[in-house]
Amino acid sequence: MSATTIELKHPEQGGITELVMRRPKVRDMLASEKAKGGDADKEITLFANLCEAVPATIEALDMADYQQLQQAYQGFLS
């Protein structure tokens, strides 16, 4: 699987109802490690990159939807 679509359970008012996350590459991990901030900031940077979104979009997600992103990411690693 080269990408997965995450249907948002609690879409934001901006009209985004789904995000498409592509498979991560090593360069994505390296880019997130260079991001400023703590582990959460780095993960947000990584997910934004994989979903071709701005970090603010990821930050605005409901936690249930954010957990879906985390699960999708973990699914690529197994």
pLDDT in tens, 33-74: 998 999 999 999 999 999 999 999 999 999 999 999 999 999
| Residue 50 pLDDT | 98
Give every CB contact of residue 12 below 8 A, 6+ residues apart in sequence.
57, 60, 61, 62
Residue 13 pLDDT exceeds 80? no
Q: What is this structure's pTM?
A: 0.92
CA dihedral 23, 48, 72, 39 (to 10 degrees): 110
Residue 4, SS3? Answer: strand
